[in-house]
């Protein structure tokens, strides 16, 4: 998540800063509302035109794009760490896999003890796989990345087909209890859960920490492993795209202005109309569970890389002249690990029952009243911290664990003459 070499690449830090801020804009739905609302706006939290507009905006510009952007940057940073270790004559493989093992352990602690939406464990496993490709050419990395994305698309397309089959089986006269139960499970997880199901989840997350923890280690014990199977293919692909983007200079900010502008025009010119069409089709289908998964899950996979690259190119273009705000965004990117985990602690304290208990009390549009102050907090603390210290607190802990020794933390400032 952070570049540990001596010569930092400012572009990576800036794009990472936007990505970690953007991830909060999507994750906050899962912090603040029942789980089904993350995918299906009809499940909870959409009670007005403003709420629906907030969902449309997030679906087109945020959902999947910030996670993909983060994956891209993870692959690029991973490549820098490996190549930096090789340049120093260190055992790059050992360093990389120690980093991933510790990241995976931190991710599991994050999942079980803090929040069920963890991505770190999945990133650690994906990073172990992606490392096998780091010596390949940009062209080969892109080909392999496309291959992993195709697997992701095929998997989600197969799941979508199974949902439609389950619905058809449940609709048959005299259908079995098993067929009815299978469709009811899909409706509960991806459609509109009944009032009793919503009430149960509201009670859980407005309740005690002990109750939430018990739920994670019983009902959701194997969720991290399921997440690996469902989402790692695309994550690995994006990491390979990130390596290619670093090797070609795209993520170093060295492309010509018109090349970035062309990437923005093509990516958004293709992606925005497609995503807008998918949003319209979901609204038209009244967020029917099987249709929703087919459009939200499978249909977005082929178009998402274009939107991710266009977003990265736009950030690079918009921040080329730097300035005070851009410097703060870059600092938030350098402390992305701390900002990501810190956000989980802050948001669960705000929304869950063992904190302020606001779970289920916000609509989608109103959540921006939380998102914007949280962004401001990231920008306010990261820069002053890095003026005094070399790393963010958790970046330092991760680096020390991976290297088996406490790393220097404080910056050495020369005394005035």
With the C-alpha atoms ordered 179, 185, 186, 188, is the resulting torsion angle positive or negative?
Answer: positive
With contact defined as beta carbons under 8 Å apart, do 81 and 24 qualify? no
pLDDT at 237: 98
Q: Which residue has the higher pLDDT, 2 or 268?
A: 268
Q: Please compute the mean of the pLDDT values over residues 224-230 and round it to a whole number.
A: 95
Cross-strand partners of 410: 389
Q: How many CB atoms lie within 10 A of CB 256?
A: 8
Average pLDDT over residues 216-230: 96
Question: Mean pLDDT, to the nearest integer, of 225-252?
Answer: 97
pLDDT per position as a tens digit, 104-118: 999 999 999 999 999
SS3 303: coil
Alpha carbon 194 to its chain's center: 28
- Is it the case that residue 87 has pLDDT exceeding 90? yes
Q: How far apart are CA 220 and CA 216, in angstroms?
A: 5
pLDDT of residue 412: 65
Asked whether the predicted pLDDT for residue 26 surpasses 80, the reply is: yes
Does 415 have pLDDT greater than 50? no
Residue 378's closest CA among 324, 409, 322, 336?
A: 336
Average pLDDT over residues 236-242: 98
> Which segments of 302-367 does DSSP mark as H helices, in order?
304-318, 324-334, 336-351
Render pLDDT for 348-399 as a digit per residue (tens, 0 to 9): 999 999 999 999 999 999 999 999 999 999 999 999 999 999 999 999 999 9
Residue 246 has pLDDT above 50, yes or no: yes
Residue-level pLDDT at 403 = 87
Q: Give bridge partners of residue 389 from the DSSP assignment.
A: 410
Residue 3 confidence (pLDDT) above 70: no
User: Radius of gyration over alpha carbons of the chain, in Å?
Assistant: 22
Tell me the pTM. Answer: 0.94
pLDDT digits (tens, 9 = 90+) for 257-307: 999 999 999 999 999 999 999 999 999 999 999 999 999 999 999 999 999
Q: Within 10 Å of residue 244's Cβ, how many Cβ atoms? A: 26
Mean pLDDT score, 2-14: 70
In this predicted structure, what is the pLDDT of residue 7?
Answer: 54
Q: Is 389 helix (H, G, I), strand (E, B) or coil?
A: strand
What is the DSSP secondary-structure string of 76-95? HHHHHHHHHHHHTT--HHHH
Which residues, at least 6 apart from 106, have a Cβ–Cβ distance to it below 8 Å? 120, 341, 394, 398
Predicted pLDDT at 194: 83
Confidence of residue 411 (pLDDT cuts 50, 70, 90): confident
Average pLDDT, rounded, for the chain: 95
**Residue whose C-alpha is closest to residue 333's, from 9, 75, 19:** 19
Question: Mean pLDDT, to the nearest integer, of 179-198?
Answer: 92
Neighbours of 371 (CB within 10 A): 17
Mean pLDDT, residues 55-78 taken together: 96
Mean pLDDT of all residues in 82-95:
93
High-pLDDT (> 70) share of the chain, %: 97
Query: Is 402:2 a contact under the CB 8 Å cutoff?
Result: no
For residue 410, the 8-state DSSP code is B
* Alpha-carbon torsion (332, 333, 335, 340), positive or negative: positive
């Amino acid at each position: 998540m952070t570049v540990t070499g001596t010569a930092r690449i400012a572009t990576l830090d800036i794009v990472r800063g936007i990505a970690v801020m953007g991830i909060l804009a999507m994750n906050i739905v899962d912090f603040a509302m029942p789980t089904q609302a993350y995918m299906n706006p009809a499940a909870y939290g959409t009670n007005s035109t403003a709420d629906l507009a907030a969902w449309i905006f997030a679906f087109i510009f945020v959902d999947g794009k910030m996670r993909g952007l983060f994956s891209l940057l993870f692959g690029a940073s991973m490549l820098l760490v490996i190549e930096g270790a090789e340049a120093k004559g260190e055992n790059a493989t050992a360093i990389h896999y120690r980093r991933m093992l510790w990241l995976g352990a931190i991710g599991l602690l994050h999942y079980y003890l803090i929040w069920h939406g963890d991505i770190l464990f999945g990133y650690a496993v994906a990073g172990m796989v992606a490392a096998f490709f780091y010596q390949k050419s940009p062209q080969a990395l892109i080909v392999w990345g496309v291959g992993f994305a195709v697997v992701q698309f095929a998997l989600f397309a197969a799941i979508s087909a199974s949902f439609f089959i389950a619905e058809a089986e449940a609709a048959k006269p005299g259908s079995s209890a098993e067929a009815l139960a299978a469709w009811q499970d899909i409706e509960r997880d991806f459609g509109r859960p009944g009032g009793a199901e919503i009430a149960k989840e509201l009670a859980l997350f407005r309740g005690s920490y002990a109750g939430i923890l018990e739920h994670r280690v019983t009902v959701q014990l194997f969720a991290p492993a399921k997440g690996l199977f469902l989402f790692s293919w695309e994550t690995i692909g994006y990491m390979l795209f990130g390596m290619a983007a670093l090797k070609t200079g795209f993520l170093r900010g060295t492309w010509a202005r018109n090349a970035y502008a062309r990437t923005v025009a093509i990516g958004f010119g293709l992606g925005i109309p497609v995503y807008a069409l998918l949003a319209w089709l979901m609204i038209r289908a009244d967020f029917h569970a099987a249709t929703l998964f087919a459009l939200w899950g499978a249909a977005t996979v082929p178009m998402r890389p274009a939107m991710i690259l266009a977003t990265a190119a736009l950030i690079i273009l918009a921040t080329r002249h730097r300035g005070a705000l851009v410097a703060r965004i870059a600092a938030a990117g350098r402390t992305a690990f701390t900002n990501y985990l810190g956000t989980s602690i802050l948001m669960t304290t705000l929304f869950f029952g063992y904190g302020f208990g606001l779970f289920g009390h916000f609509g989608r549009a109103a959540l921006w009243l939380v998102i914007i102050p949280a962004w401001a907090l990231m920008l306010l603390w990261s820069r002053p911290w890095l003026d005094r210290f070399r790393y963010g607190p958790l970046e330092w802990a991760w680096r020390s664990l991976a290297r088996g020794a406490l790393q220097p933390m404080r910056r050495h400032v020369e005394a005035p003459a």
